[in-house]
Amino acid sequence: MSKLLEDREGLIIPKKLFKVAVAQYSSINFDLEGSLNKLEKITKEAANKGVQLLLFPEAFLPGYPHGGDFGAVYGNHGLSGRKIYQLWHESAVEIPGPAITRLSKVAKENNIFLVVGTIEKETTSSTLYCTVVFIKEDGEYLGKHRKLVPTNIERITWGQGDGSTLNVYDSPVGKVGAVICWENYMPLLRTTMYTKGIQIYCAPNADNSADRWQHTMRHIAMEGRCFVLGCNQFTRRSDYPADPEFPNAISDKDGDRVLSSGGSIIVNPLGELLAGPNYSNEELLIADIDLNEVIRGKYDLDVVGHYNRPDIFTLYVNEKPNPVLVTKMQDLKVSGAVNSEQTESQNVTKK
């Protein structure tokens, strides 16, 4: 055994080195064009520093309304909340649409893979969704992930995503996917991403629990043996419209009051910090990663491989889209709304 170890002392495994970054910045809130301009500036800075994949926070386009209560109390929804919702809706992102076209242009011009938190609106309804979009370095729009369960008061304003957007995409730095904020506390969702071979686990968020969130990010990196990029905004009251346009339950007097303290982080597959956390200011956090660390990490722990018991535990994931409107029986079968055996039985009965 000692002879074998001696022979391996000089073993050199070529590194698979890449540069990734998280953008801990505030949006230009409720201003899509302004937020896109800021995103473009940050992306150019990242590209100049050699970054190949760049993650922006949850709801960066056009902003996360920290401190906004939307005039909601049990049994009543005030007019002020309706006005804020309209303001948010007017600045939200259509997919596809002009904002996605702009993101594609930015990604291509800077040869950088973008993962961007957005507030998405549909042309067929007025519901908003918390969505992450993926744009290739050549400008191709790959797809999106919609948040499955909005948290707390978010449920007043956001719809729920379905299983059709739980994708992992190839990127220049590895297989990349996104799990948004408190979705990261959903063990079955994390497991789903692990089964898809995720290597760059993006966690855009709006969490302000400081050290507790760092524990979550580091645990996920160790559990999934993947690189974790956690990205939150750093925002002050002055980054939002003033009262009465945007009444704020946290602070309406102190414009310098921090509403979101950042805490963005980059972690390797063994839970070690590569960048962050930063609780003080806006910053572009950059880290060099070696993709070989994913394989080396799974030497002793692969939760969807050798450290799994599929004979005991089974995970079922419904990845079918669940549209609000269906016009044909075939569409019902595709969405999973009607069991195909039931449909066939009904057709036989009709005959």
| Catalytic center residues | 58
- Give me the half-sphere count of Cα atoms (radius 13 Å) on the Cβ side of residue 333: 8
CB-based contacts of 236, cutoff 8 Å, min separation 6 = 26, 255, 256, 257, 258, 259
- Give me the half-sphere count of Cα atoms (radius 13 Å) on the Cβ side of residue 296: 11
CB-based contacts of 342, cutoff 8 Å, min separation 6 = none
Quickly list H helices, the chain: 2-8, 32-48, 79-90, 98-110, 154-157, 187-195, 211-224, 292-297, 329-335, 340-350
Print burial letters for 75-99: b (CB count within 10 Å at least 16), e (below 16).
Answer: eeeeebbeebbebbeebbbebeeeb
Helix, strand and coil in the chain, % to nearest 5: 30, 25, 45
Do 69 and 81 contact (CB within 8 A), yes or no?
yes
In this structure, is the dihedral angle defined by the CA atoms of residues 50, 54, 57 and 60, taken in order, positive or negative? Answer: positive
C-alpha–C-alpha distance, residues 202 and 144, integer Å:
13
Helix (H, G, I), strand (E, B) or coil at 286: strand
Phi-psi region for residue 124, left (φ > 0), alpha (ψ -120 to 50) or beta? Answer: alpha
Type of residue at 38? K
